[in-house]
Amino acid sequence: MLLNKLKKYMLKSIILVLPMTCFAKSIESSTQTNNIISIESSPQTKKNKSIESVPAKHDYEINPLYSKINFEVDHLVVSSVIGEFKEFEGKFKFNPKDFSQTELIASAKASSIDTGFNPRNEHLKSADFFDAIKFPLLTFKSTSAKKTGKNTLDLTGNMTIKDVTKPVTFKIIYKGEFKTKDDIKQSFKATAKINRKDFGMNFQMLFEATPAIGDIITISITSEGIHKLSDSTKI
């Protein structure tokens, strides 16, 4: 009789323990699954994916068909002379997500100056001003870039005119990006002011004690840059 009671007790113990063991395994399996889900969707993982999607700093060529280098200078105080350089080239590096990475190197041919009046053009090419034969290029090479607003930045660099190099800062408005299957285009507007006498252009004529030409030159640039996509990176 004692033996029968012992058997019944052992059977009840097995029946009670078995569901608890299964329940524990279920919890362990659920915890592992949840942990896996948690790792895949963790903020750190999302952050890493976001970092990978940030656009790179690309190399761009300035497109002369959609770019202009204009300048304006006072004439007899009350009016202005407006001109442009028709031949120029340049390259820049740009990342629309980080303006501080911007780099630019550009040049314009002094002999390509055009103010709409040929005798004045020839005078500007002479030694009184640009001395275009001796110093054929005007150049600019950036040294730093600083974001100043949502779509604006200051681009500072060294400008060389004739044999003189001076720091100049361009105020730039970033107009936006346009993508095609073949290329990426970036568009900008830029302005800067320089004193022509800082660059050795000291010529002056007076009309009744009024200077014929102002000292401050305002440079205005519209620019489009193109980054060609290789076959492996085309959109």
> Is 235 within a domain?
no
Instruction: Show the domain range for 18.
Output: 2-52
Same domain for 68 and 28:
no
Give the domain-ending residue among 14, 29, 52: 52
What b/e readout covers 36-48, taking b as 16+ CB neighbours within 10 angstroms?
Answer: eeeeeeeeeeeee
Give the burial string for 1-21 (b: 16+ CB within 10 Å, else e).
eeeeeeeeeeeeeeeeeeeee
Asked if the structure places residue 233 within a domain, the reply is no
SS (H, E, C) 81-147: EEEEECCEEEEEEECCCCHHHCEEEEEEEHHHEECCCHHHHHHHHCCCCCCCCCCCEEEEEEEEEEE
Would 208 be classed as within a structural domain? yes
43 in a domain, yes or no?
A: yes
Examine the domain organization and report whether 89 and 203 are in the same domain: yes
CATH code at position 186: 2.40.128.110
- How far is the C-alpha of 40 from the C-alpha of 36, rounded, in Å? 6
Give yes or no: residues 35 and 139 share one domain: no
The whole-angstrom distance between residue 233's C-alpha and the CA centroid of its chain comes to 20
pLDDT tens column, 180-196: 999 999 999 999 999 99
What is the reported pTM? 0.74
Same domain for 154 and 43: no
202 touches 162 (CB < 8 A): no
Q: Are residues 78 and 35 in the same domain?
A: no
The per-residue pLDDT for range 210-230, each reduced to its tens digit, is 778 999 999 999 999 999 997
Q: Is residue 130 part of a domain?
A: yes
Domain boundary among 28, 52, 76: 52
Assigned domain for 186 exists: yes
How does pLDDT run across 152-184, given as a tens digit for each residue? 999 999 999 999 999 999 999 999 999 999 999
